[in-house]
Amino acid sequence: MDLHDSPQDAAFRVEARRWLEANLTGEFARARGLGHMGLQHQGRELRQAWERRLGRDGWTCLGWPTEHGGRGLPVSQQVVWHEEYARADAPARINVMGEGLLGPTVIAYGTDEQRRRFLPRIVDGTELWCQGYSEPDAGSDLANVQTRAVPDGDEWVVTGQKVWTSYAQWADWCFVLCRTDPAAERHRGLSYLLVPMRQPGVEVRPIRQVTGTAEFNEVFFDGARTRADAVVGELHDGWSVALATLAFERGVGLLGDVVGFGRELDQVLELARKGGRSSDAILRQRLTDAWVRLFVLRLNTLRSLAGVDGPVAPPQASIAKLFWATWHRDLGELAMDVLGAHAAVAEQFPYELGDLQRMFLFSRADTIYGGSNEIQHNIIGERVLGLPPEPKVLARETR
């Protein structure tokens, strides 16, 4: 496998780098570094203006087909874009849910009318989305979703509670997994509904986290309304659509993350060199190990994306998720060990965390969202190793 850019990819890299250099200037110079892990609440207006700038110049939705407003670029160039974007320390994207999840789902399962209505506003960065799947009793066991949607004339009326909803505080729309056939069991009888967020029946309550900030939310639907034709895919078949959305979640962005991880590791290494703790034999081994594992992560991600022109297949996606999430969580712990006693003290009163402290705390979430480590182990155990399936008794008892 050739790890160098092809001539076309190299030319594209230059184009992407030049555009980023030329545009992360003026008002957007301040946007550099905004909104990364543990700081997603930062700079909403500036980041949305940046989203529109990206859209104006054709730098959103690079992998979408051209007939839906994308650029139809191959995976290799989407990867290049993510790497250059991370290298430039451009702000965290504010519409990842729209571009990465809802858009591809509407392209695959939506009606022409839904495509015309929703896709252009994701491409140009004017409408933001959030993902309404998880509920207090439906996380790993997603089929246990209890939020209900009931038809009322030419509308649906939605009632229920979602939780951990990232970006809900800013989103214009939410794609909601909800129960439309109450008589059906578990994953049968669910539908995938598009619900406007700015209406009286929707209440968003931010959840304050251990980082001191609030990135995600509880969302209460209390008689919220949406149009009858806002179902994506077949009525009562939202489970297939919801799973398809999750398959879009893992892919080309990981190599951009790897660039960010490398930057964090450099910070830890720098600290170890300066702080003199590099003489600690165990710490030296862990630092070296972190570097090697990051190198392996990059190579393996490149390998799994080579020749792929869509979502990465489930076993590879699970291996990748398990590997990077565990790596990042371990890096957080390593950073705290290198910081030593300073790790326990906030940088400024009352609770101003340093970058590494914030990374440590936020990285605890990595092994949970997008499918927890335990769930990835289950998938790999059952689908790759052919182990007997886990007993389903617990899930039924806790309903």
Ligand X SMILES: Cc1cc2nc3c(=O)[nH]c(=O)nc-3n(C[C@H](O)[C@H](O)[C@H](O)COP(=O)(O)OP(=O)(O)OC[C@H]3O[C@@H](n4cnc5c(N)ncnc54)[C@H](O)[C@@H]3O)c2cc1C
Among 59, 164, 173, 261, binds ligand X (CB under 6 A): 164
Count of residues of this chain found to bind ligand X when the rule CB under 6 A is applied = 20
Question: Measured from the CB atom, is 59 or 221 closer to ligand X?
Answer: 221
The residue from 368, 380, 381, 383 that contacts ligand X (CB under 6 A) is: 368
Query: Is 215 an active-site residue?
Result: no
Q: Does 323 bind ligand X (CB under 6 A)?
A: no
Stretch that binds ligand X, among 59-67, 114-122, 135-143, 323-331 (CB under 6 A): 135-143
What is the rounded distance in angstroms from the CA atom of residue 17 to the CA atom of residue 291? 26
By CB under 6 A, tell whether 145 contacts ligand X. Answer: no
372 binds ligand X (CB under 6 A): yes
Instruction: Give the interface segment with ligand X, choosing from 118-126, 133-141, 151-159, 221-229 (CB under 6 A).
Output: 133-141
Q: Give the pair of three-digit tokens for residue 9.
A: 């990819």
Name every residue whose Cβ is closer than 8 Å to that of residue 289 and which is 6 or more positions away in sequence.
Answer: none
CA distance 387 to 399: 26
Cβ atoms of 297 and 258 within 8 Å: the answer is yes
H-helix or E-strand containing 161?
A: strand 155-166
Given the rule CB under 6 A, which of 136-144, 193-201, 299-307, 310-318 is the region that contacts ligand X? 136-144
- Residues contacting 222, CB < 8 A, separation 6+: 159, 201, 202, 203
Among 95, 165, 180, 363, binds ligand X (CB under 6 A): 165
Strand partners, 231: 193
Torsion angles phi and psi, residue 216, rounded to 5? -125, 180
Greatest Cα-to-Cα distance within the chain, rounded to the nearest angstrom: 72
Bridge partners (DSSP) of residue 196 are: 173
166 contacts ligand X (rule: CB under 6 A):
yes
Among the listed residues 6, 140, 199, 285, the single contact to ligand X using CB under 6 A: 140
Site membership for ligand X, residue 175 (CB under 6 A): no
**278 contacts: CB under 8 Å, gap ≥ 6:** 272, 284, 287
As measured in angstroms, the least distance from the Cβ of 165 to ligand X is: 5
The yes or no reply on residue 6 touching ligand X (CB under 6 A) is no
Shortest Å distance, C-beta 193 to ligand X: 14
DSSP 352: B
Position 387 contacts ligand X (CB under 6 A):
no
- State yes or no: residue 131 binds ligand X (CB under 6 A): yes
Q: Tell whether residue 210 is a contact of ligand X (CB under 6 A).
A: no
Amino acid at 163: V
| Cα distance from N-terminal residue to C-terminal residue, the chain | 48
Q: Does 134 bind ligand X (CB under 6 A)?
A: yes
Asked if 304 is part of the footprint of ligand X (rule: CB under 6 A), the reply reads no
By beta-carbon proximity to ligand X, the closer residue of 325 and 339 is 325
Q: Tell me if 374 contacts ligand X by CB under 6 A.
A: yes
Among 378, 381, 382, 383, contact with ligand X (rule: CB under 6 A): 378
Residue 213 Cβ vs ligand X, minimum distance, rounded to whole Å: 11
> Which entry of 83, 84, 135, 249 is annotated as an active-site residue?
249
Amino acid at 296: V
Q: Are 283 and 57 in contact (CB under 8 A)?
A: no
Q: How far apart, in whole angstroms, are the C-alpha atoms of residue 346 and residue 193? A: 43
**Judged by CB under 6 A, which of 139, 311, 315, 381 binds ligand X?**
139
Cβ-closest residue to ligand X? 139
Kindly state the tokens that stand for 205.
């309550």
The residue whose two tokens read 């969202």 is 369
Which one, 75 or 190, has the nearer CB to ligand X?
A: 190
Q: Considering the rule CB under 6 A, would residue 193 count as an interface residue with ligand X?
A: no
Exposure b/e, 342-370, CB count within 10 A at least 16 = b = eeeeeeeeeeebbbbbbbbbbbebbbbee
Q: Is 379 in the site for ligand X (CB under 6 A)?
A: no
State how far the Cα of 262 lies from the Cα of 285, in Å rounded to an integer.
17
- C-alpha to C-alpha distance for 204 and 197, rounded to whole angstroms: 9
Residue number, 240 or 372, with CB nearest to ligand X: 372
- Please give the positions annotated as active site: 249
Interacting residues toward ligand X by CB under 6 A: 130-134, 139-141, 164-166, 216, 365, 368-369, 372, 374-375, 378, 390
